[in-house]
Structure 1
């Protein structure tokens, strides 16, 4: 078994240079260079799996997978490229195992055990890399969404006591929740007496959105901050009426400019 493992390691450089995607995806030499160590580590694990226990090989694969995922995402390489590489080495190393087994006259059972253990490690590599890549990728997406969500609900202080909260685009449940938190927290932090909620950039308001906006207004009132609505488009005004929303107690102006002028007067 040690001879088979050594035969694989001897061909490590040759296999690492025969990249599965060179002629298909036009990756730069710089990226190929950074991936070489990634390939070497994987081939070493494959070779060691011939003599090591499965648990030990799985542990090595898990550690390799975490490092590999960081590299793939940093290089902006898709998951299918990595999986193709893993499977490519399965074919090459499987051929080496077959040739060495014949040369050493291994029994059928011995050959089966070696090949089965190797294939199990390859399958674990594909499985673990897929899971790690998905977790890492979606964690980055979530972080980016969180930043975008925070930026999409800005409270802007325009005078010592007046702030503006301009809303643009659709308001879903998550953004509506952020609206509530941001309006209350920033309003108090900035020491505002008035916050103008400008709806001129909101294309549609449904029951959920309207309910959330008026809860924000009520919560602001309890915090000593007066809320004002501006920029309500005709179709949104009609929707509010159809929904039976009572807006008679809330100061409403057709534009932000008029609201600012009224407050300053």
Structure 2
């Protein structure tokens, strides 16, 4: 590390707050954006702290070892990515904000070079250019990774919740579970039920599943066939199944399809089925 590099680091470190001030002052009103000039005092305070951390991390790339910078980069990315996921900030806005930071950061480097004049060597400038630009690029890449991981985790959790609400398997006793299907059932929803319910029954250790159709307003031939498939799948898993709340039109559709429900217990209502079972 050259003496000039140490001087540049000291200069940048002394102007960390100035870089942040200029970056914040350059903001414009952007509706719904965390980077908007009118986003509020709390948001500005958070951005100020995060931007200061950004500037310190970038400056540290000039002096610290590769391992130390990588650790700083990962810590920064995790923190900022978590913040942007919570605020639902799209990646392109973060890229744009970081690009503006880079521009201001380089203005300060240029100011330092002008101040030092002929003492600055061409090799110094080449080293700084490589180190600083690489640091900014790596910050953005690491941020994108963490942002994607967090978004994937959140979407997976949301999908699990949707599946559970779409087809809630309710454990009544140690061995009995109920699957109440309510509302319109199209082929997309019934396929989701077909994928989710067997796994959930095994997870909950259900031995007897009551599939209640009393809340189903309309059913077509495709849906009836999928419900029949569901009873066959749980049967292969060693789980008994009982259909309750079958309306006349559902029964008629099943007969027209040639679906054989004779091996499955059926009842007009869930209450009736449970009274007989218990």
Q: TM tier, shorter chain?
A: 0.7 to 0.9
Higher mean alpha-carbon deviation, 86-95 vs 148-157, is at: 148-157
Q: CA 1:198–1:162 in structure 2 vs 1: closer, same or farther (change >3 Å)?
A: farther
- Which deviations, in whole Å up to 9, do the C-alpha atoms of 1:29-70 show, x marking residues without a partner? 112212222111110111222233455433321221112222
Task: Describe the SS at the equivalent of 1:195.
Answer: strand
Which residue of structure 2 lines up, in the alignment, with residue 260 of structure 1? Answer: 271
Name the counterpart of 1:215. 232
Cα distance in 1 for partners of 2:202, 2:77 equals: 43
Q: Does 1:12 align with 2:16?
A: yes
Describe the shift of the 1:260–1:55 C-alpha distance in structure 2 as closer, same or farther (beyond 3 A).
Answer: closer
- For residue 139 of structure 1, report the CA deviation from its aligned partner: 0.3
Residues 78-135 of structure 1: CA deviation (Å, up to 9, x unaligned): 3333222211111011122223223323233321221121000000011110110110
CA RMSD of aligned residues (A): 3.6
Tell me the number of residue pairs that the alignment of Structure 1 and Structure 2 aligns.
Answer: 256
Q: 1:119, 1:233 → 2: CA distance? A: 71
TM-score normalised by L of structure 2? 0.74
Asked if residue 249 in structure 1 is aligned to residue 263 in structure 2, the reply is yes
Aligned residues of 2:190 and 2:227 also touching (Cα < 8 A): no
1:10-89 alignment, distance < 5 Å: 10-17=14-21, 18-19=23-24, 21-24=27-30, 25=36, 26-89=38-101
Structure 1 Cα separation of the partners of residues 190 and 177 of structure 2: 23
**Secondary structure of the structure 2 residue equivalent to 1:249:** coil
1:228 aligns with one of 243, 246, 264: 243
Name which of 181, 189, 194 aligns with 2:199: 181
Gaps of 5+ in 1: none
Deviation at 1:142, TM superposition (A): 0.8
- For residues 72 and 45 of structure 1, the distance between their equivalents in structure 2, rounded to whole angstroms, comes to 18
Relative distance call for 1:75 and 1:145 in structure 2 (3 A) is same
Q: Could you tell me which runs of 5 or more consecutive residues in structure 2 were left unpaired when the two chains were aligned.
A: 31-35
TM value normalised by structure 1:
0.77
SS of corresponding position for 1:171: helix
Q: CA deviation at 1:140?
A: 1.4
Any conservation in 2 of the 1:167–1:198 contact (CA below 8 Å)?
yes
For 1:233 and 1:13, how far apart are their aligned partners in 2?
Answer: 74
Q: Summarize the alignment of residues 120-199 of structure 1 with structure 2, pairs less than 5 Å apart.
A: 120-156=134-170, 164-168=178-182, 169=185, 170-171=188-189, 173=191, 175-183=193-201, 186=204, 188=206, 195-198=210-213
Distance change >3 Å, CA 182–CA 48, structure 1 → 2? closer
Deviation digits for residues 177-212 of structure 1, max 9, x if unmatched?
A: 3211334565747xx6x7243271575535983464
Corresponding residue of 2:103: 91
CA contact (8 A) 1:197 1:229 kept: yes
Report the 3-state secondary structure (helix = DSSP H, G, I; strand = E; otherwise coil) of the residue aligned with 2:168. coil
